[in-house]
Amino acid sequence: MKSFHPRDHGAAQRKIPLWVFVHSVVRGLSWRGIAALSSMLLISMFLIRAQAAVAQDQNRQEILAQADKILQQMSQITGLPIKSPVKKQIINRKEIEKYLVENIHEETKPEELHAQEALVRALGLVPQDFNLEKFLINFYTEQAAGLYDPKRKTMFIADWSPADTQDLILSHELTHALQDQSWDLEAYLHGARDDDDATDARQAVVEGEATVAMLQRMTGALGITGLPSLSDLMDEVVHQQFDEFPAYSHAPYFFRMQATFPYVQGAGFIQTGLEADGWKSLSALFEHPPENTKQIFDPKTYFDHQEFPKIKLPHPRALEGNPGLRFLHGNTLGELGYYSLLGQLDSDDEAKSLSPAWVADQYLLYERTDGKGYTLVARVQWASAEAAHQFFRDYSAILTHRFPGLVADKRSSDEELIGSTAEGTVLILLKGSECRWAQGVPAEQADALLEWLRAL
């Protein structure tokens, strides 16, 4: 199918700027656990081209008037009413960067940041000396160009962005202002706070609608529902442009996937929703939010009201009783998490092949009290025994590659991998359509944990 480009359908001959999509990276890193920051700020960050004329050449009053006009247009497109004027503030680059850094510290507790840093280290996605806070600040501030803050009910407009880019930024961000007036974005995004995957899904609703509304304004009367996949369009835009921006292009695959998901897959999800009954039908997404990221990847599962099982992973007594371990965090990776994990540690093709078979999962993360390692325990259900076996093979290969000195125990079989590494014992068990796995297990608890996993 031919990919849609705005120029193919008479839209203005301007290149859609690439989002850094940083706030979702923060959500994703938190596993989606740095949740508060992105959820409360709702920051959409755009990358702009240095050669473009800057907005400083415009009269500030003209910029504010432009914002008021665009707010009216976005209200007409989405059907979301303007219930009150939106406060607007024009700020310079130093002010917006200072604002973003302050909010990282304001909204993210040190222990939350530590837990998320530990998680990406434990999964082998980053080096053991990886500094998450430094990474986030660099990622955030690379090219911030505008944001709507629902906490302050204020649209912050950068005074340096080019007029055409600023127009797109305002279209997207003022849609957030309209969403906020109708649905209270902070409450919506915090509505599933204990379920990281569900929170990611809600974020995809919010960002997907704002992205599609912006594209609708670009395409005019053409409409969105008659176009080819918006997910394909957004994915193409991202891959065409990200090499220009070091903080984004040098980030691991895992972070880039987490970052772009609300926009790329979110746009496709919203496009499917519009096909039902137009913009007014999207209110159901706020009244009855999706429960997981699988519903965003595969919108049919949401709109057909497919139910998903929940999987339990109690704290194993063997680890809870170990004075050398401290429990840090437990939650759900979801389809998005397993897609990102496989995409980085195996291949993008394998992620696309296997992750759609995700059904449910839980994980538990422990830190060694001496600060020299982590123990990770997980349980994931797949749609079939074949998919579970595929993951068993994939993750066994991933761990073998990650730990070159891994020595398989003689008890290992086609359905169990039991191995010793310098960082502790690794265990992977295949049980029907489930995989149960652990890594970094202290040797003295390995046998007890193995029996516990077998008995789940």
pLDDT value for 144 = 65
Domains in the chain, ordered, with CATH? 6-303 (no CATH), 317-455 (3.40.1000)
pLDDT value for 240 = 66
Say what the pTM is: 0.87
pLDDT value for 32 = 40
Written in H, E and C, the secondary structure of the chain is: CCCCCHHHHCCCCCCCCCECCHHHHHHHHCCCCCHHHHHHHCCCCECCCCCCCCHHHCCHHHHHHHHHHHHHHHHHHHCCCCCCCCEEEEECHHHHHHHHHHHHHHHCCHHHHHHHHHHHHHCCCCCCCCCHHHHHHHHHHCCCCEEEECCCCEEEEECCCCHHHHHHHHHHHHHHHHHHHHHCHHHHHCCCCCCHHHHHHHHHHHHHHHHHHHHHHHHHHHCCCCCCCHHHHHHHHHHHHHHHCHHHHCCCHHHHHHHHHHHHHHHHHHHHHHHHHCHHHHHHHHHCCCCCCHHHHCHHHHHCCCCCCCCCCCCCHHHHCCCCEEEEEEECCHHHHHHHHHHHHCCHHHHHHHHHHEEEEEEEEEEECCCCCEEEEEEEEECCHHHHHHHHHHHHHHHHHHCCCCEECCCCECCEEEEEECCEEEEEEEECCEEEEEEEECHHHHHHHHHHHHHC
Question: For each of the chain's 456 residues, which pLDDT tens digit applies?
Answer: 222 222 222 333 334 443 333 333 333 333 343 333 333 333 333 333 333 334 444 577 888 889 999 999 999 999 999 999 999 999 887 888 788 788 777 777 888 889 999 999 999 999 999 998 888 877 776 656 778 999 889 999 888 777 777 888 899 999 999 999 999 999 999 898 889 999 999 999 999 999 999 989 988 766 676 677 788 777 777 666 666 677 778 889 999 899 899 999 999 999 999 987 889 999 999 999 999 999 999 999 999 999 999 999 999 999 998 999 999 999 999 999 999 999 999 999 999 999 999 999 999 999 999 988 999 999 999 999 999 999 999 999 999 999 999 999 999 999 999 999 999 999 999 999 999 999 999 999 999 999 999 999
